[in-house]
Chains A and B, each alone.
Chain A
């Protein structure tokens, strides 16, 4: 009878952390930039058509 060693939850969490940290840093930077779009000075106007 063979003893199958299953991957631990910790190993899976660590693997996701390795890619999650840089991805999270990228999302954080993007959100910081996106906030500028909704800065208080923004007002809604009609786009200039002519």
Chain B
């Protein structure tokens, strides 16, 4: 295989290697690809650029760039998860870095030539493949390094994805301002080029520092419990068998409902708070609201995933769905800005928790053998939620506007639908039982 230094056998940790070096490697990847959540900062500059050229792209057409990227994230995670288990995290991270950066470079050419199709191909398709590969690449490695704390370890990495927008947003804005100040009219291609290069270098840090544990390695003093909990298996399930189990599809519903609810709020956060508190909250304060939601989304990924190590995965999701369903229901009835913001922050923290706890839940049910591959297939729920969420929100809002009803009524209806979706997720989680032994990989030892 090309670039043999990327092979799994070349990334096996030497004795004495600290496992605490692995989460930073994973974070280097996730903080980079998390930039995708900040793509909206390019919306207005791209609109202005197209308008100057007479090409007249509209918001919907530009919105497709992000949608394509998320769709390809889900597809590539599902397709390449099994390959990743054999190829190892270093090779997967390397290809993720190449695709993600290439996506920026191709998009730079697209912006320079004013070709939206090239941007779709670059940031959407190729960059999206980089997102999918990067997202799942450190998961099983972290679980192997932290068998005693799988929630904490994967929560740390996935927290990076939530936090990536906090770096990507201001970085893009600063770069665009810098190039504008230099008198560049085509400042978007330059910004894309610089971001592609910076992210490639940062991701290479992860590529070269990631290590897999030597076969049979376990943390000092760690002894796996023979039967730690009814829903934690000591057996493994092959990816091709896992997706035939009811547990896989129940977790698919769990993830899809959780993400649909969260993404609907995230997508509409800025106009929603301004519509609710007309005359009190302006666009600048709404930006602050969105930032605060991102912070809680990120912190919730680490906090709740770590809590799940102590209370168990099923109990953690019971908390997420109970808290979520209640808060989504009461949010439209809240009359104060402080209460509205506080409730929204908790809602986003459980959304992040639901995202970050899924790999550990999969490990509990299916074992660590193919957990990245199974996680990859489960991420199709994310892609689906990315379509369902905006459809619910925009569909109801458009309908209300069309029939002349106030937007606030639409938000109440939307939030109550999302609350009902979370109840469906609660039921799915309650139905999760241990995987039937007929699906276990036959092995001499587990």
Most interface-central of A7, A18, A47 (chain B CB within 10 A): A47
Whether B336 and A7, one on each chain, are in contact in the complex, defined by CB atoms closer than 8 angstroms, is no
Q: Is B209 in the interface zone, CB < 8 Å from A?
A: yes
Whether A7 and B16, one on each chain, are in contact in the complex, defined by CB atoms closer than 8 angstroms, is yes
Partner of A26, one of B166, B338, B409: B166
Nearest CB in chain A to that of B32: its residue: A22
A residues near B289, Cβ cutoff 8 Å: 34, 37
Whether A48 and B408, one on each chain, are in contact in the complex, defined by CB atoms closer than 8 angstroms, is yes
Whether A34 and B292, one on each chain, are in contact in the complex, defined by CB atoms closer than 8 angstroms, is yes
Whether A7 and B18, one on each chain, are in contact in the complex, defined by CB atoms closer than 8 angstroms, is yes
B residues near A38, Cβ cutoff 8 Å: 288
Q: Is B182 in the interface zone, CB < 8 Å from A?
A: no
Q: How far is the CA of A22 from the CA of B290 in the complex (A)?
A: 19
Contact mask for chain A residues 1-30; partner B; CB cutoff 8 A; 1 contact, 0 none: 010111100011001101100110111011
Q: How far is the CA of A6 from the CA of B15 in the complex (A)?
A: 8
Partner of A48, one of B31, B167, B170, B278: B278
Whether B285 and A42, one on each chain, are in contact in the complex, defined by CB atoms closer than 8 angstroms, is yes
A residues near B209, Cβ cutoff 8 Å: 15
- Minimum CB–CB distance from A47 to chain B (whole Å) comes to 4
Nearest CB in chain B to that of A12: its residue: B20
Whether B27 and A19, one on each chain, are in contact in the complex, defined by CB atoms closer than 8 angstroms, is yes
Nearest CB in chain A to that of B289: its residue: A37
Contact mask for chain B residues 216-245; partner A; CB cutoff 8 A; 1 contact, 0 none: 000000000000000000000000000000
Whether A30 and B294, one on each chain, are in contact in the complex, defined by CB atoms closer than 8 angstroms, is yes
B residues near A48, Cβ cutoff 8 Å: 278, 406, 408
A residues near B164, Cβ cutoff 8 Å: 26
Q: How far is the CA of A44 from the CA of B279 in the complex (A)?
A: 11
Cβ-Cβ contact count across A and B, 8 Å cutoff: 115
Q: How far is the CA of A2 from the CA of B14 in the complex (A)?
A: 12
Given A15-B209, A18-B205, A19-B31, do A34 and B16 touch, yes or no (CB 8 Å)? Answer: no
Q: How far is the CA of A9 from the CA of B236 in the complex (A)?
A: 35
Q: How far is the CA of A36 from the CA of B21 in the complex (A)?
A: 37
Nearest CB in chain A to that of B202: its residue: A22
Whether B17 and A7, one on each chain, are in contact in the complex, defined by CB atoms closer than 8 angstroms, is yes
Partner of A36, one of B14, B276, B279, B285: B285
Whether B205 and A33, one on each chain, are in contact in the complex, defined by CB atoms closer than 8 angstroms, is no
B residues near A49, Cβ cutoff 8 Å: 406, 408-409
Q: Is B284 in the interface zone, CB < 8 Å from A?
A: yes
- Minimum CB–CB distance from B332 to chain A (whole Å) comes to 8
Nearest CB in chain B to that of A22: its residue: B167
Chain B 11-58 interface residues, beta-carbon cutoff 8 Å to A: 14-18, 20-21, 24-25, 27-28, 31
Q: Is B4 in the interface zone, CB < 8 Å from A?
A: no
Q: How far is the CA of A19 from the CA of B28 in the complex (A)?
A: 6
Partner of B21, one of A12, A43, A46: A12
Q: How far is the CA of A13 from the CA of B250 in the complex (A)?
A: 40
Whether B292 and A23, one on each chain, are in contact in the complex, defined by CB atoms closer than 8 angstroms, is no
B residues near A42, Cβ cutoff 8 Å: 280-281, 285, 337
Q: Provide 17 A-B residue pairs closer than 8 Å at the C-beta atoms, listed in order of the A residue.
A: A4-B15, A5-B14, A7-B16, A18-B28, A19-B160, A23-B160, A27-B166, A29-B169, A34-B291, A36-B285, A36-B288, A37-B341, A43-B280, A45-B277, A45-B335, A48-B406, A50-B406
List the 6 closest A-B pairs by CB distance, nearest first.
Answer: A26-B166, A7-B18, A37-B288, A26-B167, A36-B288, A30-B291
Which A residues have a C-beta under 8 Å from some C-beta of B?
A: 2, 4-7, 11-12, 15-16, 18-19, 22-23, 25-27, 29-31, 33-39, 42-50
Q: A26-B166, A27-B295 are in contact. List 11 more A-B contacts (CB 8 A).
A: A4-B15, A7-B20, A15-B24, A23-B31, A26-B169, A26-B170, A29-B170, A37-B289, A39-B285, A47-B276, A47-B335
Which B residues have a C-beta under 8 Å from some C-beta of A?
A: 14-18, 20-21, 24-25, 27-28, 31, 160, 163-167, 169-170, 202, 205, 209, 276-281, 284-285, 287-292, 294-295, 334-338, 341, 406, 408-409
